[in-house]
Structure 1
Amino acid sequence: MKTTTLTHGDTGLDVVELQELLNRAGIPVATDGWFGERTAEAVRQAQRRFGLVVDGLAGRKTLTALRTGIDDPRHLREADLIAAAERLGVSLASIKAVNQVESNGTGFLPDGRPVLLLERHVLYRQLKAAGHDADALALRYPQLVGTQRGGYAGGTTEWHRYQNARHIDAACAIEACSWGLFQIMGFHWQGLGYASAQAFADAMMTSEAQQLAAFVGFIEAEPALHKALKAKKWAEFARLYNGPSYRDNDYDVKLARAFERFDTAAVPA
């Protein structure tokens, strides 16, 4: 089965395998290779059983739970999103939309380490602020330190960049990375109430619930962002959260569509 998320409208052998897994789990559904509403509801039923986020999408966490019958306790729960929505005073559909669009479905890599991305231009800035000769370091480590974005390796290889950056300055390396499901930059640690950059990193390594807590704190610390989320002004939220290039990835369109889907699913038939 492919590792990308299966969703409504998908067809083929991957969907057949999903349907077979659902049937083996005691959730009857036709094995017709069509991911229609009946399959989506069966997936939601499985997610409720395992305590996962109920979104009707068959991603890595749902598929693993179906295959093994168990779930990693570090995974995000529906209850976590409900609590976050209540704390922020927004609809659950809004939080689910952000969770779907802003994350790749999981805050951890297959090897158990949290998802992260080292931003070399941020490392340059943080090193300079910490008193290092950032220009000399940029010449020596151009893939780690620089005035321009880039140098990304992606996936597990990104951890090699992070570990190498730690040899220069551990705190600055943490601050220069985006962490977890919601890609919160490490340099926000103090404003989010963590005791240190390392305390922030330790929390991100603990669970997706902790990654969600950092996101909630980030939203609370940014009144304009919080206001946009409450008002469901997706273009404004995407601009503030992702920067002016949000249109390149259609973040606002994806958020609006995801919200509509989750909002509709929340209405009793």
Structure 2
Amino acid sequence: MAHHHSSSQPAPKAPSNPYVQATIVFRDVLQMPIEGLSVQIKAGAGAQPAPAWITGPDSDTDSAATSGAAAAPGPASVAMAASGPNASMPPMVANDIQVTTDRDGYAATIHNAARNQPIDVLVKNRRGEYVWKATVIPKKDICAFTVNSPEYHLEATTKLTPKDEFEQDLNLPVLKQGEVMTIERLVREFGPYIGWSQKVTEQGKVKKDFPTRHKETATDEKTKKQKTTITIEHHYKIVDTGKPHTVTLNVLGSRLNYPKPETFTEAQFTDMATHLGVEVAAIKAIVQQESQGHPFLENGLPPILYERRHFFDLAVAKRDGKHGSRQNIKNKKPPTNPYPEHPDLCFKGPDNYGAGGLHQYEKLARAAALDFEIALKACSWGGFQILGEYYASCGCATVFEFVNTFLSGTDGQAKIFISFMKNVKPRAVAGLKEHDWEKVAASYNGASWRKQNPDYASNLGKYYDQYK
């Protein structure tokens, strides 16, 4: 019996869903999860406005991210499709979300990411800035993207965790050759890096020697004896050791100022001595006692000493309306600390100076965040260690002008010293003329010099004799 044959047409292909599901996770080079990263996920350059992202965990895509394979499509991938010609479209926005990776390195699952539209992935660095790390483009109905840390990691105390690697930020401010620093720029641009160390881990490579030995035998023409000599050829190659190494960067080791001039000249010493009517050796003795003869540190900044008790007194005076004075407040109760959470920067009582040299600038930078002007006043500056609070008596309109004069070079330091001695320390000038070192100590170093620095006067005498 014959059968009736009818031509069958293939069913029309359903249009692609304009929305897909995208999961983003973070892994290190060993595919271990990176926990605790602050991540920003946003629509990439050229992406069209789209409905607000719907995010949340998804077990299928978690497993896909871990295994590196796409998971099977789930209902979440199609739930966002328009359900008919009359379906109302949600408002279009430029999507931007911020998340923190969990213990599995999971950042987020976007259930309605726009297909074929770029998504930028950024990670917050140690300065609090989000830095671009990757751009992903979801094309399949369900996508899993793994963002890998590009670095290897040490297993020693210098180890950088995968989280640290993503937070690396080497965009350090740089001072050009010959530039003179200002205190405003130093604190605002370089301040966040003072006392800060950045560790960078790289795959280890070494220059290794592969020597080749050659034995040569020759006959001596006179003795007719054979003589054997050995020569070695050296062949050097760069070899990947498979072990990373870490380099530590620190702005404290950088050149931060180019003062002009950088040392006191004999002409400057003579000029200061002439203005004050004292001997050159007496001026040199003070510089030696106050700064070991160095008006600038190796990085070009003048030496400073941050004094937290001065900051305390000045901050209390400012808070209580007594500007420009460190007069003790004659109240029955001692004044409360304006910044009790920073006892190392603001404290009534003996100073705890800590490490000297460059590390004093770390304190200054932190104190400047509390009160910039008072922080400068609470430091003694330069080769003569003059407190910033005396700026007005030294002929400066502001403490910022005072400090920038110190930064500019030894000409500026000498000018301020002359004004300081004439206007603030006339008794010290008299002591220098009379070679009365105890009088100089009491005036220049304070009434309690015997307790705080008992060798001050004898040192002045010793240095004077040395330079005389």
Do these two structures clear the TM 0.5 threshold for a shared fold by scoring above it? yes
Deviation, structure 1 residue 203: 0.6
Residue identity matched to 2:297: L
- Identify the residue that residue 461 of structure 2 maps to in structure 1: 256
Counterpart contact for 1:107–1:208, Cα < 8 Å: yes
Q: Is the 8 A contact 1:120 1:150 kept in 2?
A: yes
Query: Aligned equivalents of 1:136 and 1:189: distance in 2?
Result: 25
Contact kept, 8 Å, 2:296 with 2:302, in 1: the verdict is yes
Does the 8 Å CA contact 2:391/2:399 hold for their aligned counterparts? yes
Identity rate of aligned residues, in percent?
31
Which aligned pairs between 1:136-215 and structure 2 lie closer than 5 A?
A: 136-153=337-354, 154-215=356-417
1:237 equivalent in structure 2: 440
Please tell me whether residue 85 in structure 1 is matched to residue 273 in structure 2: yes
Higher relative strand content: 2
CA distance in structure 2 between the partners assigned to 1:155 and 1:78 by the alignment: 25
SS at match of 2:268: helix
Aligned-partner SS, 2:392: coil
Distance 2:266 2:363 in 1: 33
For the pair shown, the structure with the greater C-alpha radius of gyration is 2
- Amino acid of the structure 2 residue aligned with 1:246: W
Contact 1:119 1:149 in 2 (8 A): no
Kindly tell me: are residues 229 and 192 of structure 1, through their superposed partners in 2, closer, same or farther at Cα, counting changes over 3 Å? Answer: same
Counterpart position of 1:98: 286
Per the TM alignment, residue 138 of structure 1 is displaced from its structure 2 partner at its CA by 3.6
Counterpart secondary structure, 1:143: coil
Letter matched to residue 149 of structure 1: P
C-alpha displacement of 1:102: 2.2
RMSD in angstroms over aligned alpha carbons? 2.1
After superposition, what is the alpha-carbon deviation per residue over 1:89-132, rounded to whole angstroms, capped at 9, x for unaligned? Answer: 11112112222222222122222222111110100111122227
TM-score (norm 1): 0.67
Tell whether the 8 Å contact from 1:228 to 1:236 is kept in structure 2 after alignment: yes
- The alignment's TM-score, normalised by the length of structure 2, stands at 0.39
1:114 matched to 2:316: no
DSSP 3-state at the match of 1:73: coil
SS at match of 1:108: coil
Cα offset for 1:149? 2.6
Secondary structure of the 2:305 match is: strand
Contact 1:228 1:237 in 2 (8 A): yes
Gaps of 5+ in 2: 1-258, 322-334
CA drift of 1:136 comes to 4.3
The 3-state SS of whatever aligns with 1:200 is helix
Rounded to whole Å, the distance in 1 between the matches of 2:405 and 2:431 is 27
Q: CA deviation at 1:198?
A: 0.4
Counterpart Cα distance in 1 of 2:260 and 2:394: 26
Please say which of residues 107-116 and 81-90 is displaced more in the overlay: 107-116
Greater helix percent: which structure? Answer: 1
Contact 2:305 2:353 in 1 (8 A): yes
Which residue identity lines up with residue 112 of structure 1 in the other structure? G
Letter in 2 for 1:226: V
Q: What displacement does 1:246 show?
A: 3.1
Asked whether the equivalents of residues 176 and 185 of structure 1 are also in contact (C-alpha less than 8 Å), the reply is: yes
Contact 2:316 2:338 in 1 (8 A): no
The letter of the residue matching 1:156 is L
Match of 2:336 in 1: 135
Between stretches 212-221 and 118-127, larger displacement belongs to 212-221
Which of 61, 69, 76 is 2:264 aligned to?
A: 76
Deviations 1:136-169, CA, capped at 9 Å, x for gaps: 4341110000101323232211111101111111
**Which residue identity does 2:348 align to in structure 1?**
T
Secondary structure at the aligned position of 2:380 is classed as strand
SS in 2 for 1:155: coil
* Larger RCO of the pair (alpha carbons < 8 Å, separation 6+): 1
Name the SS of the counterpart of 1:117 in structure 2.
strand
The alpha carbon displacement at 1:212 in A equals 2.5
Q: Which amino acid aligns with 1:251?
A: Y
**Aligned 1:16-35 pairs, distance under 5 A:** none
Residues 253-262 or 81-90, more deviating: 253-262
Q: Which residue of 1 aligns with 2:45?
A: none
Partners in 2 of 1:99 and 1:135 — Cα distance?
Answer: 37
Deviates more, 1:206-215 or 1:195-204: 206-215
Structure 1: where are the runs of 5+ without partners?
Answer: 1-70, 264-269
CA distance in structure 1 between the aligned counterparts of 2:357 and 2:339, rounded to whole angstroms: 23
Whether the 8 Å CA contact 1:82–1:92 is kept in 2: the answer is yes
| 2-structure distance, mates of 1:201, 1:261 | 31
Q: Which is further off, 113-122 or 131-140? A: 131-140
Mean Cα deviation higher: 187-196 or 146-155? 146-155
Q: Deviations over 1:160-190 (max 9, x none)?
A: 1101111111110110000011110000001
Q: CA separation in 1, counterparts of 2:337 and 2:285?
A: 43
**C-alpha separation between the residues in 1 aligned to 2:300 and 2:430?**
35
